[in-house]
Amino acid sequence: MLLGGRLLTGLACGIASLVAPVYISEIAYPEVRGLLGSCVQLMVVIGILLAYLAGWVLEWRWLAVLGCVPPSFMLLLMCCMPETPRFLLTQHKRQEAMAAMQFLWGSEQGWEEPPVRAEHQGFRLVQLRRPGIYKPFIIGVSLMAFQQLSGINAVMFYAESIFEEAKFKDSSLASVVVGVIQVLFTAIAALVMDRAGRRLLLALSGVVMVFSTSAFGAYFKLTQDGPSNSSHVDLLTPVSMEPTDASVGLAWLAVGSMCLFIAGFAVGWGPIPWLLMSEIFPLHVKGVATGVCVLTNWLMAFLVTKEFSSLMEVLRPYGAFWLASAFCIFSVLFTLACVPETKGKTLEQITAHFEGR
């Protein structure tokens, strides 16, 4: 029963992670699309933080029951929401699309009707030859891959152990501290998204992650080379049986690096790949293309989480985190070279940019 519940929960989360950003991007004004699109990730990290806090006072059974409340509200409230006008136009339901637009925007002012032609309905592999299709496809898949290759899951996995090494009295507080940092900086990103722009925040986020993962690697290199440690570091045990002031100081280097990394990730590479995924694809391929992007994200998350321990055995812990730092460097270069700015543009203008119009 537990496995069945986890399977259904995973299926539902996968569907929601695909549909929610797309739905929001299609109903939002261009001027606030970044704010509303970033709220998807903001709600995710708020939910994680609330789960951490509830876990202190509830056993797992009641925690699972509590998890039924938000989706129940969503189920009821979505019954009152219309389908997106853009989707209705692809179904040649113009009158319903205008009614939905009136409900969502209050008027037709600022609306740019997407071109809907019969031959553009659905996705075919031959369409990948078109720049308007393959360019956003490469960008979307790459963003999702770089998000996971940054090492976020590895850092989160070892957060509690790092706090233990820093001599926190209650190492379970690590989860709450991490959750608060995620919520705070994701909220900041959401507020400045439509002023600073996606490219700037992605590049800034990537630079912060480069420095923090490099410092992480330096911490493991220094602790491994210490006189009281063997040549192989077990991250699940303290640095030494009786930590010295120096080892505790190094542990604080790890804590600082971890907090900086999480803050940097939350500002850019946490919310923006999901936001851009919902913005860059043409209407007629959005369903398939966003599905491939979400599949890439979850597949990379699975592979990184599963293989990171093996990678640390081969490269040592410091090598694994320096490799993550290298991927962060590549992510910054990719952002500057390939990712267009979508701030303030309609979805139709973004599509026209990729098509060279």
263-299 residue pLDDT tens = 999 999 999 999 999 889 888 888 888 989 999 999 9
Q: CA 206, CA 335: separation in Å to the nearest integer?
A: 9
Nearest residue to 320 via CA among 333, 331, 332, 309: 309
**303-347 residue pLDDT tens:** 988 888 888 888 888 888 899 999 999 999 999 999 999 988 888
Of the ranges 12-26, 127-141, 324-338, which is most confident? 324-338
Nearest residue to 216 via CA among 267, 271, 265, 176: 265
**Residue/partner pairs of 309-313 with CB below 8 Å, 24 or more apart:** 312/235, 313/232
Q: How many residues does the chain have?
A: 357
278 token code pair: 């919902």
The DSSP-derived string for 310-343 is HHHHHHHHHHHHHHHHHHHHHHHHHHHHHPPP-T
Global confidence as pTM: 0.83
User: How distant is the alpha carbon of residue 321 from its chain centre?
Assistant: 19
Asked whether the predicted pLDDT for residue 143 surpasses 50, the reply is: yes
Sorting pLDDT into bands at 50, 70 and 90, what band is 300? very high
106 token code pair: 């209050």
231 vs 125 pLDDT, higher one: 125
**169-181 residue pLDDT tens:** 565 677 788 889 9
Helices (H) and strands (E) in the chain, counts: 15, 0
User: How distant is the alpha carbon of residue 132 from its chain centre?
Assistant: 24
Query: Tell me, what's the pLDDT at 67?
Result: 85
